[in-house]
């Protein structure tokens, strides 16, 4: 199912916040369980998708700004 970028970005932010709260240890890398490693990997994938969506949402704005400065 294809989402509107801004709605997907909000959904991913909520998901990443819940995953991050489950992984809230100080020495995370040393004490990761298999489940936490899986959650950490999922959070990294979500972060990448969020970055891509943010770029996609920002591109039209940048194009408009660039277009205005060229005029």
Residue that the structure tokens 């959070």 belong to: 43
d(CA 20, CA 25): 10
Taking Cα atoms as reference points, which of 62, 50, 60 lies closest to residue 10? 50
Taking Cα atoms as reference points, which of 24, 25, 21, 20 lies closest to residue 42? 20
Q: What is the pLDDT along the chain (71 residues), one digit of tens a residue?
A: 566 777 877 888 888 777 767 666 555 555 667 777 787 788 888 888 888 888 888 776 666 666 654 44
**Per-residue model confidence (pLDDT) at position 57:** 82
Please indicate, yes or no, whether the overall pTM of this predicted structure exceeds 0.75: no
**Per-residue model confidence (pLDDT) at position 14:** 82
* C-beta neighbour count of 27 within 10 angstroms: 7
**Per-residue model confidence (pLDDT) at position 61:** 65
Phi-psi region of 3 (alpha: psi -120 to 50; beta: other; left: phi over 0): beta
């Amino acid at each position: 199912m294809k989402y509107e970028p801004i709605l997907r970005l909000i959904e991913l932010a909520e998901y990443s916040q819940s995953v991050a709260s489950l992984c809230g240890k100080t020495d995370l890398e040393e004490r990761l369980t298999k489940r936490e490693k899986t959650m950490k990997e999922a959070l990294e994938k979500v972060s990448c998708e969020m970055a891509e969506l943010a770029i996609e949402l920002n591109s039209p704005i940048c194009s408009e700004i660039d277009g205005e400065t060229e005029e």
